[in-house]
Amino acid sequence: MNIHEYQAKQLFRDFAIPVPSGGVADSAEQARQVMQTLSGSAWVVKVQIHAGARGKAGGVKVARNEQEVADFANAMLGRQLVTHQTDANGLPVNCVWVEEASAIKNEFYLSLLVDRDSERLIFIASAAGGMDIEAVAAETPEKIVHVKIHPASGLQPYHCRQVAAALGLGKEQQSRLQTIMTGVYELFLAKDCSQIEINPLIETDNGNLVALDAKINFDDNAVALHPEIAALRDASQEDAKEAEAKQFDLNYITLDGNIGCMVNGAGLAMATMDMVKLKGGAPANFLDVGGGTNKDKVKAAFKLILSDGTTKAVLVNIFGGIVKCDVIAAGILAAVEEMHLTIPVVVRLEGTNVELGLSMLAESGLGLHTAEDLNSAAELAVKLAEEAA
Ligand code: ADP
Ligand code: MG
């Protein structure tokens, strides 16, 4: 789960990570009011969306006076902002963050994430901050330092010295960096984050270190343990279909093909998508309806798969282990009938009560295709989708 920069900055503040003073606003008037509470002679107005690269896309503005703050807020609020991290539709701008402008001497990069290979948390830092870290990694990898933290030792002063040296920091700044790294590390563990990224972490003219940007991702499987984090969710920034899927406890990811896949179990869903690809087709989605699925979930899944009109055929591949095949068949029939489905549906069922399930489908008169195995099911779905397209 992602949150907005302004929410992340509040969490930073709670963990003693310095951030500029600022406030959030959902109207130009409010942006003006926030600015009046801040000191300084310049302010930065930043579009709040769940994507980075806002600066390059025109979503970050240095304002010299009240009018510029209000004008920029007016121009941005209510529109979609496209950055190279969003899709072509962009994300809706429902609020802006107004903060004091900092006098930047240096821009660094600092992040903490999970390194699956070493099974450790790893700090990644670079003196070449402020820009696209992927580009730095590709072109000048020597400018990036990696520091792994053993869970038994936790974060130690020497970890911070390693990062400080890589950033070329002096003695006094070293202790400021240690405060920041400690805050990041403790925040990461306390809230079950999967990534914290500060890009840029800046050195100001007077030598302070300040987090100018703040990005936090949380481990979805742990969000339920932190109601205060769950409350930060902004559904307007999420794929509408993926958000709806969550309500029905379905694992759904939108893809760009035209064969809708409905499968139970993530492993079987991956294998099904592979098979569709192997047969020359392209899946419209990843969908795991769960091991113990039921009629309502199957119906919700059909609705999701069909909601955007790009799907030309549906491939159902369900193993009746926990759930019986006749229950699945009843769910499919109810969904197809209720939704007056006209696109071809190929069903492959296997497991408990499979004969009963298949005969229910065959006798329904709804023109559903059944297949004996995944190989032939995928082949047929690809063929039918091609004919329909
Ligand atoms: P994004 O990563 O989405 O482009 P950032 O918050 O990193 O957005 O802002 C982009 C750039 O804008 C920063 O690299 C920095 O140079 C500048 N910037 C952001 N906030 C401030 C600020 N408070 N004062 C001065 N410059 C800022
Ligand atoms: Mg940034």
Binding residue per annotation — 205? no
Provide the pLDDT for residue 351: 93
Q: Which of 200, 216, 237 is the last residue of a domain?
A: 237
Q: Which atom of ligand 1 is nearest to the CA of 99?
A: 23
How many other CB atoms are found less than 10 A from the CB of residue 316? 33
Is 368's pLDDT higher than 80? yes
- In degrees rounded to 5, what are phi and psi of residue 214? -150, 120
Instruction: Note the ligand closest to the C-alpha atom of 57.
Output: 1
Query: Tens of pLDDT along 189-231?
Result: 999 999 999 999 999 999 999 999 999 999 999 999 999 999 9
Confidence band (pLDDT; 50, 70, 90) for 37? very high
- Which range among 147-161, 175-189, 333-347 shows the weakest confidence by mean pLDDT? 333-347
274 is in an annotated binding site: no
Distance set, CA 138 to CA 143, 170, 219, 240, 354 (Å) = 10, 28, 27, 33, 52
Which residues does a 6 A CB cutoff place in the pocket of ligand 1? 20, 44, 46, 52-55, 60, 99, 101-102, 104, 107, 130, 199-200, 212-213
What's the pLDDT at 179? 98
Which residues form the domain of 86?
Answer: 21-101
Instruction: Report the distance separating Cα 53 and Cα 61, nearest Å.
Output: 13
**φ, ψ dihedrals at 19, nearest 5°:** -135, 160
Instruction: Give catalytic residue positions.
Output: 109, 197
259-281 confidence digits (pLDDT tens): 999 998 899 999 999 999 999 99
Residues 135 and 71 in one domain: no
My answer on whether 261 and 293 are in the same domain is yes
For the chain, the domain total comes to: 3
Same domain, 76 and 199: no
Kindly give the number of the ligand 1 atom that is closest to the alpha carbon of 130.
14
DSSP β-ladder status, 43-47 and 215-218: unpaired
Picking from 237, 253, 282, the residue at the C-terminal end of a domain is 237
* Residue 355: partners with Cβ closer than 8 Å, 6 or more residues away: none
Q: Which of 21, 44, 102 to mutate to test the pocket of ligand 1 (most atoms within 8 A of CB)?
A: 44
CATH code for position 374: 3.40.50.261
Torsions phi, psi for 167 (to 5 deg): -90, -5
Tokens of 307: 């909601």
- Same-domain pairing of 194 and 86: no
Name the residue among 16, 11, 10 with its Cα closest to residue 177.
16
> pLDDT (tens digit, 9 = 90+) per residue, 252-264?
988 989 999 999 8
Token pair of 37, please?
């509470």
Q: Distance (Å, rounded) from C-alpha 191 to C-alpha 294? A: 33
* Mean of all residue pLDDT scores within the chain: 94
Domain containing 89 — which CATH number?
Answer: 3.30.1490.20
The C-alpha angle with vertex 305 and arms to 302 and 311, in degrees rounded to 5, equals 125
Do 294 and 358 lie in one domain? The reply is yes
In this structure, the residue with its CA closest to atom 14 of ligand 1 is 130
| Together in a domain, 29 and 76 | yes
Same domain, 197 and 286: no
Q: Tell which residue, 165, 202, 195, has the closest CA to residue 180.
A: 202
* Closest C-alpha residue for ligand 1 atom 9: 55
Q: What pLDDT shows up at residue 166?
A: 95
Q: What is the CATH number of the domain that holds 16?
A: 3.30.470.20
Tell me: is residue 264 an annotated ligand-binding position. yes
* Surrounding residues of ion ligand 2, Cβ less than 5 A: 199, 213
Tokens of 241: 């279909």
Ligand number nearest CA of 53 is 1
Same domain, 384 and 278: yes
Whether residue 294 has pLDDT greater than 80: no
Domain check: are 89 and 215 in the same one?
A: no
- Both 122 and 154 in one domain: the answer is yes
pTM here? 0.83
Q: What is the pLDDT of residue 111?
A: 98
Give the bridge partners for 97, in sequence order: 24, 46
Q: Identify the three-state secondary structure at position 210.
A: strand
Q: Which phi-psi region, left, alpha or beta, contains residue 197 (left: φ > 0; alpha: ψ -120 to 50)?
A: beta
Q: Let me know the angle formed at the C-alpha of 182 by 157 and 22, rounded to the nearest 5 degrees.
A: 140
Q: 93 and 108 share a domain? A: no
What average pLDDT does this structure show over 329-352?
91
Residues 249 and 365 in one domain: yes
Q: Provide the token pair at 269.
A: 């869903």
